[in-house]
Amino acid sequence: MATYAIGDLQGCHQHFLELLDHIGFNATRDRLWLVGDIVNRGPNSLALLRMLRKLGDAVVMVLGNHDLHLLAIAAGTAQQKAGDTLQPILEAPDSETLLYWLRQQRLFYCEDEYALVHAGLLPAWSVEQAAELAQEVEAVLHGEQFQIFSRSMYGNTPNYWQNTLQGEDRWRVVINAMTRMRVCSPDGIMNFSYKGTLAAIPPGLLPWFELSPRASKDTTIVFGHWSALGLHLTPNLIALDTGCVWQGCLTAVRLEDRKIFQVPCAPHS
């Protein structure tokens, strides 16, 4: 049995199949940890959703910002953007089933020495607190409140954590950190505009994982979302968005020994 953590798929179904073949994945024996952004921008999000749903317990996944964007569109509270490739899901005969399955997925997952999240964790959050906060928001996503909350799910404020936050402000901060964050000020204020490389981060900002003190530092965080960061491995970080949808590559890391597997993602003819 092996556990493979895999970077942002974004509708790249064929490259996903190639990666599974490369690692010799066996659904009866192995598990996949997916960092979110399963859908959008790539050519076949519909096939990916169908496949992952059928894989059942062999897949552990967390939601990314593109996945939440799809759910908000389906709820009628958001509009598609230029470059979106979500219409085939919305028009599919099994759309309702697939969207319901997607909405039941987690924002955060922790097992043993690893934690899985799409974007990151704010420095004040321990892994235990992050799990509790994620469960609060997951209850909203899974329930009847989602239709109402989806209208205000995104927004750049509040942009920092306070334990006294309540309701939609509290939920929005959790979603922003776990699905959108890349860099923060030294005191933990999130900046949502910067998407570039580590080397070019403007003065006064730091990658979320370099903020100190960081309460989650003793757990290895597995995440994606930041394609300009690319593959970034340290003793307590595994960053896996290597830009498959941007003709980079699709990356898997076997958690048991941290062996890296990759397939190139040039467009298929």
CATH number, position 110: 3.60.21.10
Q: 255: which 2 tokens?
A: 């958690």
Per the structure, the count of domains in the chain is 1
pLDDT tens figures, 243-264:
999 999 999 999 999 999 999 9
Question: Residue 154: CB partners within 8 Å, gap ≥ 6?
Answer: 68, 72, 78, 172, 175, 176
Residue 99 placed within a domain: yes
Domain extent for 51: 3-264
Q: Number of C-alpha atoms within 13 angstroms, CB side, residue 267?
A: 5
Predicted TM-score of the model (pTM): 0.97
Specify the amino acid at residue 135: Q
Residue 269 placed within a domain: no
pLDDT tens figures, 102-147:
999 999 999 999 999 999 999 999 999 999 999 999 999 999 899 8
pLDDT tens figures, 174-201:
999 999 999 999 999 999 999 999 999 9
Where does 80-209 show beta strands of DSSP type E? Answer: 108-111, 114-117, 183-184, 190-191, 206-207
